[in-house]
A and B are shown apart, each in its own frame.
Chain A
Amino acid sequence: MKTESKIGIFLCECGGKISNRISLPRVSDLLNYEAWTHLGIYPYPCLSPGLEAIKAKVQAKGLNRVLIGGCSGRVMKKKFAEALAPVGIAKHQVEMINLKDHVALVHEAPPQELARKAAALIAGGLASLELLEPYEPVSLSFEGPALILGGGVSGFAAARELARHGLESVVFSKALAPERVLEELHWTFPGCRIFCGDLGDFLREVFTSPLVKIVPDQPIEYIIGGVGDYHVGLKQPDNTVTEVNGAAIIVALDREFRPADIAYIGGGERVCDLLDLEEQLVAGDIKPGKVVFWVNSPEHGKAAQELAAVAAWRDSLLMVRENPQVKPIVLYPANITLPLSGADLVEARAHDIGLMSYAPEVHPVVQSGYLSFVSPADNLEHEVEWDTLVVPGAPGDPAAKAQELMRWLPIYPENGGRLQKSHIKFWPDQVPDESLFFTGSAGGLCDLNEVLQQGKKAARGVLHIREKALQGRLVSPVVVHVDKDLCQGCGLCTEICPCGGIEHVKPGSGPVPREVDNHLCSGGGTCAATCPYEAVKILNNTAQQLEARIKAMMARMQENEILGFVCGWGGLASAEQAAVKGVTYPSGIYLVPVNCLGSLDPFILSMAFLNGVKGIMLAGCTPKHSCHYHYGIDHCWYRVNAMKKLLSLAGLERRRISIGYVEVNEPESFARMVESHLESLEKLPPLSLDDKTKAKLWAIHATMHRPRVRWVLGTSLRRPAEKEFPGSQFNAVEADETMLEVLKEEFLAARILKALTDQPLNPPGIARAMDEPVKNITPLLTDMAQEGRITLKGWEGGYPIYALGKP
């Protein structure tokens, strides 16, 4: 649905900060012929009198879009959106062009000259607003139980909390009785046996609650749907699939411990690990004598050592209480902090439990019956006597269950096997309520108490969603839209989506159009920029809007000026920080902020060149380290790289486009990037737009629209340091050459199409038009005719005549 746009432009003087540097009357003169309904210059539009003035104009002139030429949208947009909401202007209808930080404060050119730049940026904003499509958020219902997957202990805590608030839940668990859970507890939480009494009551409440259904864990075949309506397919032993429906999903995954490597210590039955010891405790078999808990294995990290030390302390307490003949000592490395309270220490003394630290630099030595270690207090070697020596178990990899869930939910393994929900960090108002909950020690080593808290917190999150749904406030913010007519169901978007926003479809259901779970969507836009068929759209932020913006800007740019795409985090923030710090850079770069460089469609780059831009610079966050959208910047790298390859295929300079990485607090680096890129382009002539170059640029643009090329760009993602390559390629050069081959072929095909636009031609005619030897194009012509991209119109003088269009 498109309504006629009525745009109001409000230019801010900012108390002279803008008006002294940019001639605002000149800006409004330059914008005379643009399609706006109102244009005015205001001293401070952001303060109450200014906001009132804007509101009055919106009402008087019936404006439905507002463009504010002034300050940083990052900081000010929220205020304008909130103030203008009562007069019917929603956030997406407000566009902010940052004249202050992108023009006024960072360039030294005279005010008249800067007015031209300001006008170009505003014209771009107008063109983008012009294409804005209003949307209605979709209301969601919340019916059915919460599904608690993964089998972790935190799941029971979540189920209890939900039951107490009257919400049904289905818990998928290996253990089907409270006792079984307790018996197996030490495999995931060693040293927590001391809590078993309380936990037993807790679990019995859960298992007997009428609102909690405990079902045996089964392999997950699929998880589809979105908030309020999830479907989980479970594979039965007879290979059929049953479906369980629920309104929300809580993932409770715990990390299992494996037996420690104690073979090198020897000592037979006298040496064991914590897991073995706990098995003995379950059996009630507590041997008297000196028990030394030796917290070793620095390779598992300090957190694991701390947990092990606390586990050892708890087990010692348990043993002494059961059998006062046991004399336990906990020997822990001095570089960890023992998270014990004062009361704990008092108890330790009362029960005569030794807590000793050893200097971690010198590895303790095990002897028969003795363990020698260096004390950090006096640097002397001491010895402790042992009858039983206990070492901690080793934290294992996330369970097989995790692999199953990772396939369907946005959970990713981090370094060290830690699982994490997508770690995307946004402005809170950019993301709706949390809707997928991940709990348990698989997300990071922690003890039982913490995990139970996590479960409880997740349950509260679910209850919050239900509450909103009951009040009719649970709306799906439409961020991404998949055009069902264009979507071929290839699933590439699902594969590359970092946030899990694009839904999965049932396995084997074939090419069905994807749908979007906007509650998970982060609006990163990599999916839209990758979609081979251009079926995915980020609403209010479409590639078409960006295209219009750039075209409008370029119509006002000079031939030596370049475009600078900056991502909303590293690039934009550092560019604006330059203004704050008073760092200046040449005014020949026109900044275009995008959410993430990963949302930059490759055809935008080619379109800019087709329209004659001299060069393009892109500034984003450092890959891996700080890209807010996981792989967004890496995807962008491939598109830039493809652009470079195509430029060189067209006989143009690769260095016309370059990508750089910059952090929020590095405005100087940003200015250096701009200066360096402009300098390297200085010696280059502007892009000459003669027919031949134009035909080649047209072909580049057409190549970027080709599904095959977009598919290759989307699938070839790998991070620079990765040693794995997609498909059948084995090394970097090979992978790169495959991409080059595809680009070469498609580029040539596009040039053939271009040559045929005016009239049907025979191969020598096409070759002449393209400046290529005939032999280079004949095989491709045959292929293209077979594929139906061109038609064979007839024969003339022994040559086939080809034309555009289907036969």
Chain B
Amino acid sequence: MIDFTINGQEVQGQDGWTILEVARWHGIDIPTLCHHGALEPYGACRLCVVEVDDGRRSRVVISCMYPIRQGIKVQTETPRVANVRRWIVQLLLDESPAAPKIQELAKAFGVTTSRFKKEGVEFACHLCGLCIRACQEVVGVQALTFGNRGVLKEVTAPYHQRSKDCIRCGTCLYVCPTGAMEQLFLQVSSE
């Protein structure tokens, strides 16, 4: 058993568990976007950041992938953490102002759209990779993938062609946090 504290509360966990898992088990809320119970953590959205003090220094880390260690002190609601999260939510909101999940987050952080607002985009894909990971890990096919790189990176079907591997199960739609998949589904799903 590994003993450590979250927000001063003494908690226990097993080797290999992450801070996020232990926190949630103890009812401590940490916001996430790219995390899904069915999937391996991926660390794309950085919303789940927390401050970890390992006795030498204090760092902001993502809780969904940070394995718990003996004696660390985790703080989930420090000003540093709040600042990082607020900025992330700000940028998310500016890209997907109409997505309910993002709106919910924005409300919680008191964020409104800003100068970064993209015109004409309501449900942007944030490349969190949930759909791609769900397609591979849950469904077991590879009908979705990332295409291109850098600013052109996008979720697409392999070779930009409607995928023959797709079984039209709708898992990608189900896990998509912004609703961007709805537009994409028609382009990537098998006929």
Contact = CB atoms under 8 A, between A and B. Distances in A.
A49 interface: yes
B170 A573 contact: yes
Given A15-B29, A49-B25, A581-B179, A44 B37 contact: yes
A15 B176 CA distance: 18
B174 A577 contact: yes
A704 B13 CA distance: 56
Contacts of B16: 48
17 contacts: A43-B26, A47-B24, A47-B37, A48-B18, A49-B17, A50-B25, A74-B169, A76-B37, A78-B38, A79-B38, A425-B166, A428-B139, A429-B140, A573-B169, A573-B174, A577-B170, A581-B179
Interface string A258-300: 0000000000000000000000000000000000000000000
Contacts of A573: 169-170, 173-174
In the complex, which of the residues A44, A72, A425, A580 has the most CB atoms of chain B within 10 Å of its own CB atom? A580
A75 interface: yes
Nearest to A53: B25
B100 A582 contact: yes
Nearest to B35: A47
B94 to A, nearest CB: 21
A79 B168 contact: no
A271 to B, nearest CB: 38
Given A48-B16, A573-B173, A664 B138 contact: no
A429 B169 CA distance: 13
A20 interface: no
Contacts of A16: 29
Nearest to B20: A47
B121 interface: no
Interface string B168-183: 1111011110010010
A interface, by DSSP: helix, strand, loop or mixed?
A: helix
B189 to A, nearest CB: 8
Contacts of A218: none
A331 B35 CA distance: 56
A43 B30 CA distance: 13
The 3 closest A-B pairs by CB, nearest first: A46-B37, A664-B170, A573-B170
B167 A75 contact: no
Contacts, number: 96
B27 interface: yes
Contact of A75 (B38, B100, B186, B190): B38
A43 B26 CA distance: 8
A792 interface: no
B185 interface: yes
A202 interface: no
> What size tier do the contact residues of chain B reach?
35 or more
B22 interface: yes
Interface of A: 15-16, 43-44, 46-50, 52, 71-72, 74-76, 78-79, 425-429, 569, 573-574, 576-577, 580-582, 626, 628, 664-665
B120 to A, nearest CB: 21
B174 A576 contact: yes
Contacts of B17: 48-49
Contacts of B174: 72, 74-75, 573, 576-577, 580
Contacts of B108: none
Contacts of B138: 75, 78
B169 A15 contact: no
A427 B141 CA distance: 8
A425 to B, nearest CB: 4
Interface in B6-20: 13-14, 16-18, 20
B34 interface: no
A426 B167 contact: yes
Contacts of A574: 170
Contacts of B37: 44, 46-47, 71, 76, 79
B9 to A, nearest CB: 14
B13 A427 contact: no
B155 interface: no
Contacts of A48: 14, 16-18, 21
In the complex, which of the residues A47, A569, A573 has the most CB atoms of chain B within 10 Å of its own CB atom? A47
A615 to B, nearest CB: 26
A627 B21 CA distance: 39
Given A52-B14, A425-B167, A46 B38 contact: yes
B115 to A, nearest CB: 29
A582 B37 CA distance: 20
A428 B190 CA distance: 15
Nearest to A568: B169
